[in-house]
Amino acid sequence: MIEQGLIRAAQSGDREALITLLREIEPYVYRTAYYLLNHNEQDAMDASQEALIRIYSKINSYEEKAQFKTWVQRIVTNICIDKFRRARPTVSIDEHDLVFLGDQSVEKEVLSAYAAQDIREAIDRLPEHHRTVVVLRYLQDFSYNEIADSLDIPLNTVKSYLFRARQQLQTMLQDYEKGGVRG
């Protein structure tokens, strides 16, 4: 949670407060960009940098009517949407190292890794607006109202997008419900 005093100090021209504020929000900005941009690290870093620069230059336009995190998320989400529109999405198939825990079987770990990858890929295949609300709700833990504020859309639209996204994910991942795995 960002302190309002830090935000006010940054808005009043305190350079150290602004730098501290940007450092505090940087991980959240990057995480949102990373998920919205199909787990592409380079694109996420570019979008994060662009978002932080925009926040830096527009800090005085922030008004306390909205939560600071929703204001920040709106900025990063809009930047990611612009990047997404310029470059059509591709499904990320990055290789991930598997870490095996002593008390779990290798089979469970492998199946878990496949499931996690399939879920990420299914989210990546969602339409842009559905993926955005899924990322904000389930990966950033935003409330429905915070999503509506961040994206500047009606609350019922958020609910509708999430409902349709869950249906699409369920269809894409139906093999797991039947106990199957990809292969």
Give DSSP secondary structure letters for 95-125.
-------TTS-HHHHHHHHHHHHHHHHHHHH
Q: What is the mean pLDDT of each run of 10 residues along the chain (183 residues)?
A: 85 92 93 86 91 92 86 90 63 42 52 68 87 86 88 93 91 65 47
Predicted confidence at residue 101, as pLDDT, reads 45
Which residues, 6 or more positions from 157, have their beta carbon under 8 angstroms from its beta carbon?
Answer: 148
Q: What is the pLDDT of residue 179?
A: 52
Whether the model clears a pTM of 0.95, i.e. scores above it, the answer is no
